[in-house]
A and B are shown apart, each in its own frame.
Chain A
Amino acid sequence: MNGSLPAAERLLNLVIALRNTTGRMTRREIQEKVAGYPRDARPSAFERMFERDKEMLRDLGIPLITEDAAHPEDVGYRIDHASYSLGDVRLTPEEFSLVTIATSLWRETSVESLSHRALTKLRTGYHGQEDLQLLTGVVPSLRDVSGAYEPVVTALAGGRSLRFTYRSAHSGSLRLRTVDPWRLVLRDGNWYLVGRDVDVDQPRVFKLSRIAGRVQVLGPPGSVDIPEVCDVDALMGAARGPSSVAVVGVRPGSAPRLVARSTRVDQPVVDGFLTFECLWHGEAQLVEELAAYGDGVVVLSPPVLRDAVIAKLVGVTRVVGSQEGERRG
């Protein structure tokens, strides 16, 4: 047997060998017997290949068990037959249709291939055409979840830590964070990671879209325990800060969406404006929304919101228009 078989073929041979072996196989047996592993490779080259293969099989769900031994040479590998199969997750035709509809949420996102793989497995033995009309007229979809989703899920699934560069919401400054992941959270269309910030040893909330660059998964599998209880909304609330009442003047006919969620008040009276109150949690979105209303809206209180809107508007006056198309640099 030569060592230049495609990876899929080598891995398949490994799965079949371990599915059929009585007992277990040592690394050496695997290198010598399983087609696709180069028999004459140096031990270090084989080790690297085998480590990658093990990881890939575990990611795929194959219950690969390592049996420790006194001597490293005798460490054995086997597949746990009892937990190999999809078992109880066998679906009825209606359930399969629902999973198909649900996973279509991931359409055109980076998670599409993971959910496609799940469907590939769930489909076994099932023939029918999916009934995608079950939910008349509603097509679910999610906004893309940024490249951070996959490593976060990998770390959660393996009980491992994460390291990434994070952009602070307020200052915009970048800092390297090491986090033990606890929860993957979706609120108001935005994805967050909740976990323990290792450097400060405190629970923290991270917005996935503010993670810059690559996310590193580190630490041995099972080194992070996912706590049973975690009050995500309390942590998210703490991250958002307490709410305050904003008082704004709105020109009649302006800002209908703001008006729709605000309460009309009598005081103070401003000539040409109606006065409204709405809740503000300190989030940047309200500042952006108010700035976008231009002179249709004026902020009366709190001063910190008013100053933020003024700062936005001053920024807008500084945007430079350039007539010629930008040259790429």
Chain B
Amino acid sequence: MAERTPDRLARLLALVAHVSQSGPTPLSELARLYGTSSEQIRRDINLLWVTGTPGYLPQDLIDFDADALERGIVRVTQDRGLREPLRLGPQEGLSVLAALHALRGILAAGSAQSSVVAAVEQLEQKVALSLGPVARAIDIEVRPEVSPLTLQALQEAIVERRQVVLEYVDVADRVTVRTVEPAALFNDGESFYLDAWCLTSGSGRVFRVDRMAHVEVLASLATQVDYRPSLSAVPRGEGHSVDVLVTEQGRWLVEELPAREVVDVAQGVLVRLDVVNDHWLNRLLLQHGDVIQRVSPSSAADIAAAQARTALQLYTSDDIMRAAEQVRDEEGAP
């Protein structure tokens, strides 16, 4: 994909400033620092080489040491006033500030050292100061409701590569006990998740930390040292395809679904989902049956509809109606 002009311009300015201030730097090092290829850095330098002040005679142009460049070393000999790094743009600054606010919330909820939390706070002040009054437009609170002790135990298990026994309330609200090998903790702004190798199921799994009823770190060491966590709260791959037709009213729901394909149709939005866990699909139908018109294959719809009918029968039973009246009378009493 073509790089956006502002992104390239930012790097062009940064390259001149960086090399002017740090001295001769290998192409490969610049490529690593700026997250691009050596070829791209070379193209950037070729572009910089022909830019300068009006007149555009040799002495007007940005210049590099050509001999050094042949050896793969970038040395600036004429910076044409670009020696200083450019300040952050307002959108860039606000996005960094938002990320720092969120990080501090996550750290404070976890068990990070207070010195690190203080360092983040100081950084927030630096960035906010440089942004001026607009900095107050960012109001971010991340307060994951999770026990610091649980997080601490999981972090300890990750660092020491130990196995952990979890008592876990799954999406179907059943309590299961599993032995897992924690690989990474992550946070999506609302919840903490643990990505771990699950010995009980023999696969990688993502668990919500706030659904862990009990965590016990074992003495035994992890066996799957090569396990690479996906760090995604949305399960990926190896699922089966389910098509759901969402009504126009439920369009907002589409954004929150792990959709493989989204197609606008006359009756609403047709979404092809990647379903890894049938309990998840069952919950989805029960939660949003009012804006889901059709499901294919049909078995999931039949099951959810049967559950809904059983639940609805409760509301017509004498027992429940009497209890509901009792609550109303008590609340109505002065």
A contact set with B: CB distance below 8 Å: 1, 6-9, 11-13, 15-17, 19-20, 33-35, 56, 58-63, 83-89, 91, 94-95, 98-99, 101-103, 105-106, 111, 113-118, 120-125, 127, 134-143, 146, 150, 153-154, 156-159, 167, 172, 181-190, 194, 209-210, 212, 226, 228, 230, 232, 247, 249, 254-257, 267-271, 275, 288-289, 291-296, 298, 300-301, 303, 306, 310-326, 328-329
Q: B203: CB under 8 A from chain A?
A: no
Assess whether B81 is in contact with A232, with CB atoms less than 8 Å apart. no
Q: Which residue of A lies closest to B96 (CB)?
A: A118
Interface residues of B in 294-308 (CB under 8 A from A): 294-302, 304-305, 307-308
Q: Do A186 and B294 contact each other (CB < 8 Å), given the known contacts A117-B89, A138-B106? A: no
Q: Are A19 and B158 in contact (CB under 8 A)?
A: no
A269 to B324, CA, bound (A): 10
Task: Report if A12-B47 is in contact (Cβ < 8 Å); known contacts: A115-B95, A322-B296.
Answer: yes
Which residues of chain B (164-182) have a CB below 8 Å from chain A?
A: 169, 173, 175, 182
A19 to B298, Cβ gap below 8 A?
Answer: no
Q: Which residues of B contact A158 (CB under 8 A)?
A: 90
Q: CB distance B81 to A20 under 8 Å?
A: yes
Q: How far is the CA of A115 from the CA of B35 in the complex (A)?
A: 13
Check if B327 sits within 8 Å of A98, measured CB to CB: no
**In the bound complex, CA of A159 to CA of B252 (Å):** 28
- Residue on A with the closest CB to B330? A267
Taking CB atoms, residues of chain A closer than 8 Å to B300 are 321
A120 and B34 CA atoms in complex are apart in Å by 6
Set of chain A residues within 8 Å of B85, measured between Cβ atoms = 85-86, 121-122, 124-125
Partner of A319, one of B130, B155, B304, B320: B304
Return the contact of A121 from the options B5, B14, B185, B187 (Cβ within 8 A): B14
Is the CB–CB distance between A102 and B102 below 8 Å? yes
Inter-chain contacts of A106 with B (CB < 8 A): 95, 99
CA distance A256 to B208 in the complex (A): 14
A314's partner among B17, B188, B211, B308 (CB-CB below 8 A) is B308
**B323 beta carbon closer than 8 Å to chain A:** yes
| Contact in complex: A156, B6 (CB < 8 Å) | no
- CB of B142 within 8 A of CB of A85, answer no
Q: How far is the CB of B3 from chain A (nearest CB, A)?
A: 9
Contacts of A94 in B (CB 8 A): 119
Bound complex: CA A153 to CA B102 (Å):
16
Tell me the bound Cα distance from A190 to B300 in angstroms.
29
Interface 0/1 of B29-44, CB less than 8 Å to A = 1000111000000000
CA distance A256 to B314 in the complex (A): 20
Report whether A102 and B103 are in contact in the complex, using a CB–CB cutoff of 8 Å. yes
A6 B297 Cβ-Cβ under 8 A: no
Is B259 located at the chain interface by the 8 A CB criterion? Answer: no
Q: Please measure, in the bound complex, the distance between the C-alpha atom of A115 and the C-alpha atom of B318, giving whole angstroms.
A: 60
CA distance A102 to B98 in the complex (A): 9
Tell me, in angstroms, the Cα distance from A7 to B47 when the chains sit together.
11
B190 at the interface (CB under 8 A from A): yes
Tell whether A328 pairs with B270 under 8 Å between CB atoms, given A117-B10, A142-B102, A184-B137. Answer: yes
B 85-124 binary contact with A (CB < 8 Å = 1; else 0):
1111111111110111111001100101000100110110
Indicate if the CB atoms of A321 and B159 lie closer than 8 Å: no
Least CB distance, B263 to chain A, in whole angstroms: 5
A–B pairs, 21, beta carbons within 8 Å: A12-B51, A59-B90, A61-B93, A86-B86, A88-B129, A89-B87, A95-B126, A106-B99, A120-B34, A127-B29, A134-B116, A139-B231, A140-B102, A140-B106, A154-B91, A268-B327, A294-B308, A306-B324, A314-B290, A316-B290, A325-B243
Contact between A105 and B173 (Cβ–Cβ < 8 Å)?
Answer: no
Q: Find A85's partner among B84, B110, B213, B233 (CB 8 Å cutoff).
A: B84
- Give bound CA distance, A113 to B101, whole Å: 19
- Give Cα A146–Cα B18 distance, bound, in whole angstroms: 34
Decide if B289 touches A319 in the complex (CB within 8 Å). yes
B158 contacts which chain A residues (CB < 8 A)? 136-137
Which residue of A61, A210, A291 contacts B252 across the interface (Cβ within 8 Å)? A210
In the bound complex, do residue A35 and residue B51 qualify as a contact, i.e. CB atoms below 8 Å apart?
yes
C-alpha gap A98/B102 in the complex (Å): 12
On chain A, the residues within 8 Å of B295 by CB distance are 319-322
Inter-subunit contact A121/B88 (CB<8 Å): yes
Q: From residue A252, how far is it (CB to closest CB) to chain B in Å?
A: 13
Rounded to whole angstroms, the CA-CA distance of A87 and B88 in the bound complex is 10
